[in-house]
Amino acid sequence: MNIKRNVSLSPLSTFKIGGRAEMFCLVRTPENLIRAAEWAKANKIPYRVFAGGSNTVFPDGTLNGLLIRIRGGKISVSRNTICADAGVLLKDAVRISLAHGLQGLETLSGIPGTIGGAAYGNAGAYGHSISEVIRRVEVWDGRTRRWISRKECAFGYRESILKHTPWLALRVELGLKKGDRKELFAVSRKTIRVRNKKYKPGIKCPGSFFKNVLVADTPKAALKKIDPRKIIAGKIPTGYLLEEVGAKGMRSGGIAIPAFHGNLFENTGGATARDVKQLAATLKKRVYKKFGITIEEEVRYF
């Protein structure tokens, strides 16, 4: 375990924001992830874990304690089952599923991050989420390694039990179906084309900033203010809400919302976590004032 000190945070996320980590280590296997966490606990040092850094807002100052990054690991295929260590890139899992003609991950093509991070936040796009194909997740609960079922994961929209416990995701097992390789590759390519129009390659952002709003959780009074034509699969696109309150073109320091997407925070240069939080707070107030809806961040603040 190679622990580094005073490490710059900004290169570690797609947002390119952040100060410095007091201590940092990179691990590539579930065993070393547990070892790093146990070392921190034994030395009474607080620790945080992240993976791809694609949904992350690091602080401007010093992040105290040990920051652990899990990146890499093993992936295997057996019939219709893929098992991947938490640090395996989601795009690699998608690629392998397509190569084996396995259906279930193709609509997640182009989503950055790792398989563990995808399970943590129940990543999804275009009406599908990774929870649809997860069979079970291996976790470390602070004492033991064990598998939890999909039901025990308590998946919801961009939610899982992993967000609300100190458990660490170690491995993810996916159950897929046999499909037509040619058709699966076509869906994947189309998905990536659509995604690249919204998230241009190399853009410094964490993806969609706020979660979409579930109609089932929205007060009736608020729903009356929503154009029903905008509702998609039981969700109100937050981009629509933000555009209705004038989000496009707004700025806060180095953070700007581009003209082509109201739910995108872009680091245009020199942005800080403070800029992010100030703009997020302003937009949340505007949306609540106009619609009576409280929108929630999809990003993870450290």
Residue whose entry in the numeric block shows the structure tokens 């809400």: 241
Kindly name the residue from 71, 150, 158, 286 that is annotated as catalytic. 158
Retrieve residue 299's tokens. Answer: 């990003």
106, 266, 297, 298: the catalytic one is 298
C-alpha distances (whole Å) from 157 to each of 163, 211, 269, 287 are 12, 9, 32, 20
Query: Is there a contact between 91 and 110 (Cβ–Cβ < 8 Å)?
Result: yes
Q: Is 188 a catalytic residue?
A: no
Q: Which of 188, 208, 266, 297 is catalytic?
A: 208
For residue 67, give the amino acid letter.
Answer: L
End-to-end CA gap in the chain: 23
149 catalytic, yes or no? Answer: no
* Secondary structure letter of residue 78 according to DSSP: E
Beta-strand runs (E) in the chain = 4-8, 20-27, 47-50, 56-57, 62-70, 75-78, 81-85, 102-103, 124-125, 128-129, 134-140, 145-149, 168-175, 177-178, 213-214, 235-236, 251-252, 255-256, 266-267, 300-301
Q: Is 13 a catalytic residue?
A: no
Shortest CA distance to 92 belongs to which of 70, 107, 114?
114
Backbone angles phi, psi at 38, to 5 degrees: -65, -35
Looking at the annotation, which residues are catalytic? 158, 208, 298
